[in-house]
Amino acid sequence: MSQALPVTIRRLGPEDASAFRVLRLRGLTDHPDAFTSTAQDWDLPLEAYIERINAGHVIGAFDPETGALLGHLFLPTHLATGVKTRHKCEVWSVYVVPEARGRSIAAAMLAHAIERARSLGFSWLKLQVGEHNAPARQTYERLGFKVYGREEDYLRLADGRSITELMMQLRL
């Protein structure tokens, strides 16, 4: 792994919606095996992105020199409302542009998400990752996530491939 370079990690605001839309559609188009959503699902007007940013906790990684959005993840704390399950929160859709990978950007975004989840009183942080995605899985394991389940044929892609997902969790 190359040396981590500085990035700015922060929660996205409505002013980031356009950059978020471009990045989200790029990830879904270029890496359909990494997400449950499709680019078609997210081919929405800018207002829909603003609504999603306002509703959830979307964390972004920005290049401090250019201001370019290099990665994102969702921490949908607003969905953890069930009386019996509100001690758990999930991380969704971790994505870093290929040209910025190897700089520990995903780990930095996840560290931010972990601290945010702790500050909100969650006991567990959960996520899913394709079994084939060794770099992502290794990042999650380095941060303390452990595999607790495996689901074969979790996703079926348009090209006929089947993706097995690993469920991982971290006690906060």
Structural domain boundaries of the chain? Answer: 8-171
Cα–Cα distance, 169 to 163 (Å, whole number): 19
pTM, full prediction: 0.91
CATH class of the domain at 8-171: alpha beta
Closest of 46, 1, 51 to residue 19, by C-alpha: 46
Q: What's the pLDDT tens digit per position in 107-147?
A: 999 999 999 999 999 999 999 999 999 999 999 999 999 99
3-state secondary structure of 88: strand
